[in-house]
Amino acid sequence: MGHEDAHSNPAPPPQPAGPTDFVRDLIAADRLSGKHDGRVITRFPPEPNGYLHIGHAKSICLNFGIAQENPDGVCHLRFDDTNPAREDVEYVNSIQEDVRWLGFNWADKMFYASDYFEKLYHYALHLIRNGKAYVCDLSPEEMIEYRGAPTIPGRESPFRNRSVEENLDLFHRMRAGEFADGSHTLRANIDMTSPNIHLRDPALYRIRKVDHHRTGAAWCLYPMYDYAHSVSDAIEGITHSICTLEFEVHRPLYDWILNQLPIPHHPQQIEFARLNLSYTLLSKRKLLQLVEEGVVSGWDDPRMPTIAGLRRRGYTPESIRAFCSRIGVTKFNGLTDISLLEFSVREDLNKTAPRVMAVLRPIRVVIENFPEGEVEELDAINNPEDPAAGVRKLPFSRVLYIEAEDFLENPPKGFFRLTPGGEVRLRYAYIIRCVGLVKDPASGQVQELRCTLDPNTHSGTGHVQRKVKGTIHWVSEAHAVDAEVRLYDRLFHVETPGDAEGDWKTLLNPHSLQTLTGCKLEPSLAGAKPGARYQFERQGYFCANSSDAKPGKLVFNRTVTLRDSWAKSASQKSK
Ligand code: ATP
Ligand code: MG
């Protein structure tokens, strides 16, 4: 802050001309060679156990993006709802809202893994009949112990050689609810000595006597992720099953399962690097903890990295898509700087957000040579980046508010704003000179500035007759509307809160929310619609709060400052 030309932004980092990456290249090659009959069907498979976050946005932009770019391409939205204990319809609904808000459309291709429970069960019977799966009575602890470690071969379960008949009987009884949670599993019969732990007879089904948000009490037997996921992909005819790198070691199991089953379709699993973002946690489990413990106001708290939080913060879908395209898709896990996300929203809002004047920490200014009761309507430019946005009228009168920090009684060298006896330009208006101070007799604090204006310096939106170094924003007292303004900052003060050992909540930034009341806004903001986005001149981008503002009370959320204040403070520290 403090410079008059805070409107300009630094040059953007390079953006690829058209999105291309190894996933898209591979799919293009498959189309050329006629693999999967030249079709492209992808899917986005969230588990409805939390709200979507910016990491999911990367996957959404990739999967839905590829479908859009290919003729006849389709992307399914599939709820991977196989773990009833943690799932909820609230999440199912929020996920649909967020995908749509991001600008993507699944048409009629919305599915639930739970729709396939019966089919999955029958394919499991097929595995049992072919000697490829067995019912195991080892407890979860014993299973871990038998599994070995990467360098220690596992031991075979004593139940591995049960007859097909016995396995079919036990599996039926598992479904019928005869056994307790954890007492039996259905396991794939693969290889307990495989160097890949995931092939050491992994569990395919477990007993969980928990109601499901869609199937109710119909099942007490639920498929494990690897089994449900691969079979769901194949049932839906997915051609390219794109997932994050952690699943690379699961791919042999994905392929093994589909090789055993009589489903004609065998999707190709492709892995890419997940998004890790600095100063941000992207673990649904930990984000849920922040919500449940009231550290934040909800999944859509503007400090949350969720799509709902970013939306309330003022992010646009365009800016999130631009961010995803800018970070690209690779095979290498890395850490993306959150300033790139902030850059993307600045760049978008710079083009689209109307400029307005808002004084966040006001101090009163009386213009002694401007008549009481008179109002002058000044022209102000709505958006210098967008001439079509036009001009608006701004009332000017004898008593104004300016930003308290734009006045210093004892200024350091190089301070070009208002000082005793000094001059400054009021944006779109006059040059004023400070001719006196009114102080609180008790505290000595400056309460009011007495100024005079130079009538020959009216600038409007055009010609400037005389120059001074500083230009500041202001609002007419009689016309101002009051608002609460919430200044948000990063939720964590360390770069990689996800790597922390021990209590990660000690890493929360105690200054992530600062609430200012009694802010004074120009009158055009009186009717700001929830969700409307503005540039408060010299302050940053702000969004009218859409959630907990009471009728008649204006609340604005700061989306982002005009410049990267963290980069500035870091470079100042290093000096
Ligand atoms: P969990 O499985 O622990 O609940 P998750 O983040 O994997 O959490 P899912 O609902 O399974 O959540 O994710 C849906 C899809 O989004 C998956 O295909 C997953 O690979 C992808 N995804 C999740 N997190 C990221 C991330 N940080 N970057 C890119 N893609 C992600
Ligand atoms: Mg997952």
380 C-alpha to center of ligand 2: Å?
50
How far is the C-alpha of 160 from the C-alpha of 142, rounded, in Å?
A: 14
Q: Is the CB of 56 under 6 A from ligand 1?
A: yes
- Average pLDDT value for residue range 341-357: 97
Q: Is the CB of 380 under 6 A from ligand 1?
A: no
Which tokens go with 433?
Answer: 């000179």
The residue from 24, 155, 160, 274 that is catalytic is: 274
Compute the mean pLDDT over every residue in the chain, rounded to the nearest whole number. Answer: 93
Condensed to tens digits (0 to 9), the pLDDT of residues 223-234 reads 999 999 999 999
What domains are there in the chain, each with its CATH number?
22-272 (3.40.50.620), 284-354+483-574 (2.40.240.10), 358-473 (2.40.240.10)
Compute the C-alpha angle 154/159/164, nearest 5°. Answer: 125
How far is the C-alpha of 232 from the C-alpha of 235, rounded, in Å?
A: 5
Beta strands 240-244 and 268-272 are parallel
Rg (CA), the chain: 30
Condensed to tens digits (0 to 9), the pLDDT of residues 434-466 reads 999 999 999 999 999 999 999 988 877 666 678
Indicate which residue's Cα is closest to atom 1 of ligand 1.
284
Q: Output the pLDDT for position 473.
A: 97
Q: Output the pLDDT for position 19.
A: 62
In which element (H, E) is residue 392 found?
A: strand 391-396
Indicate which residue's Cα is closest to atom 25 of ligand 1.
55
More confident residue, 549 or 431: 431
Respond yes or no: is residue 147 known to be catalytic: no
Q: Output the pLDDT for position 14.
A: 46
> Residue 16: is its pLDDT beyond 50?
no
Q: Output the pLDDT for position 500.
A: 80
Q: Is the CB of 194 under 6 A from ligand 1?
A: no
Nearest bound ligand to the CA of residue 50: 1
> Residue 571: is its pLDDT beyond 60?
no
Mutate to test the pocket of ligand 1, among 47, 92, 240, 323 (most ligand atoms within 8 A of CB): 47
pLDDT > 70: percent of the chain: 93
Beta strands 471-472 and 221-223 are unpaired
More confident residue, 255 or 12: 255
More confident residue, 368 or 547: 368
In sequence order, the β-bridge partners of residue 472 are 426
How far is the C-alpha of 50 from the C-alpha of 43, rounded, in Å?
A: 18
Q: Output the pLDDT for position 462.
A: 67
Q: Point out the least confidently predicted range of 30-39, 376-385, 502-511, 544-553.
A: 544-553
The answer for residues whose C-beta is within 8 angstroms of residue 276's C-beta and 6 or more apart is: 55, 282, 333, 334, 335, 336, 496, 498
> Residue 533: is its pLDDT beyond 60?
yes
Nearest bound ligand to the CA of residue 52: 1
Respond yes or no: is residue 448 known to be catalytic: no
> Residue 489: is its pLDDT beyond 50?
yes
> Residue 121: is its pLDDT beyond 60?
yes
Asked if 473 contacts 396 with a C-beta cutoff of 8 angstroms, the reply is: no
- pLDDT band for position 564 (cuts 50, 70, 90): confident
Respond yes or no: is residue 47 known to be catalytic: yes
Q: Is the CB of 190 under 6 A from ligand 1?
A: no
Q: Output the pLDDT for position 575.
A: 34
Condensed to tens digits (0 to 9), the pLDDT of residues 44-96 reads 999 999 999 999 999 999 999 999 999 899 999 999 999 999 999 999 999 99
Q: Output the pLDDT for position 1.
A: 37
The residue from 251, 284, 355, 490 that is catalytic is: 284
> Residue 352: is its pLDDT beyond 70?
yes
226 C-alpha to center of ligand 1: Å?
14
Q: Output the pLDDT for position 553.
A: 86
Q: At what angle do helices 317-327 and 54-69 cross, to 10 degrees?
A: 80
DSSP 219: -
Asked if 525 contacts 358 with a C-beta cutoff of 8 angstroms, the reply is: yes
- pLDDT band for position 355 (cuts 50, 70, 90): very high
Q: Output the pLDDT for position 490.
A: 94
pLDDT > 90: percent of the chain: 88
Q: At what angle do helices 338-352 and 317-327 cross, to 10 degrees?
A: 140
Q: Point out the least confidently predicted range of 123-137, 357-371, 459-473, 488-502.
A: 459-473
Atom nearest to 86 CA in ligand 1: 4
Q: Is the CB of 47 under 6 A from ligand 1?
A: yes
The residue from 4, 24, 35, 47 that is catalytic is: 47
Q: Output the pLDDT for position 458.
A: 83
> Residue 216: is its pLDDT beyond 90?
yes
